[in-house]
Amino acid sequence: MKKVLVLTGAGISAESGLKTFRDSDGLWENYNVYDVATPQAWAKNPALVQEFYNKRREQCLSAKPNAGHLALVELEKEFNVQIITQNVDDLHEKAGSTNILHLHGELNKARSSVDENLIYDLKGKDINMGDFCEKGSQLRPHIVWFGEMVPNIEIAQKMMRDADYLLIIGTSLNVYPAAGLVSFVPAHCKTFLIDPNDCPTGNISNLTTIKEGAGTGVSKAIKIILQDM
């Protein structure tokens, strides 16, 4: 079975009501990202960081997958599909996709602030100051903040090397190392970019651009892949 690799960013969840990061005002849901999504922010004001992610988690609880997420589930009937997502929401899971690698963590999980291997499922609940891991340290969001290592990046690079097709959906390709993954695909790989806006695509070969939102654009890319197989 041919392998379809899918790299998603915030844009695939936009039509589910979740805001993208790089809107024109430079703020993320009215917060400056450096006040809430960096290790420095956590050191300075952990309660603010918790509040921010508690709000994002609550918002995600009611969000539903859109046609873009659902089209990727259908694709599993014909292909071996692996999703690599930069998103911390769980909309690929809710849609029913099978193979999902989260690069930047997951909103619905907490982890120990002294042992990154102690990870807990939050089942939609808040994390509060005073909630501790089994080693007695404060729980923090299971999120890869700006300036932190991306633990899954090498696994993602390996996945890229096996791709026959690559779908890039709703990512501004601004944030590294995730944006650099596209350079790992083999020469025969056919790549599709689905985004209503222009993205930096300089070194991507075999590229088809579908300048649309994920809700309609993902199905169009899949149609082309099905004709090509």
Which member of 5, 7, 14, 182 binds ligand APR (CB under 6 A)?
14
Query: What would the DSSP string read from start to end of 203-223?
Result: T--SEEEE-S-HHHHHHHHHH
Q: How far is CA 153 from CA 45, 57, 145, 175, 221, in A?
A: 28, 24, 14, 13, 25
Cα separation, 188 vs 160, whole angstroms: 12
Site string for ligand APR, 87-116 (x = CB under 6 A): -----------------x------------
Cis, peptide link before residue 186, omega less than 30° from 0: no
Is the Cβ of residue 68 or residue 164 nearer to ligand APR in the bound state? Answer: 68
Distances (CA, A) of 149 to 64, 117, 132, 145, 209: 30, 14, 23, 8, 30
15 binding ligand APR? (CB under 6 A)? yes
Which of 159, 204, 214, 221 touches ligand APR by CB under 6 A? 214
- Of 69, 102, 104, 142, the active-site residue reads 104
Report CA-CA distances (Å) from 222 to 19, 100, 117, 158, 173: 25, 18, 37, 23, 21
Residues between 160 and 199 with contacts to ligand APR, criterion CB under 6 A? 170-172, 174-175, 195-197, 199
Residue closer to ligand APR (CB basis): 137 or 174:
174
Min. distance of Cβ 43 from ligand APR in angstroms? 19
CB of 1 to ligand APR, least distance (A): 27
The single-letter code of the amino acid at 90 is D
CB closer to ligand APR out of 20 and 201: 20
142 catalytic residue (yes or no): no
Cβ distance to ligand APR smaller for residue 22 or 55:
22
- For residues 57 to 86, the per-residue mask of contacts with ligand APR, x marking binding by CB under 6 A and - elsewhere, is -----------------------------x
Rounded to whole angstroms, the Cα distance separating 14 from 42 reads 27
Catalytically active residues, by annotation: 104
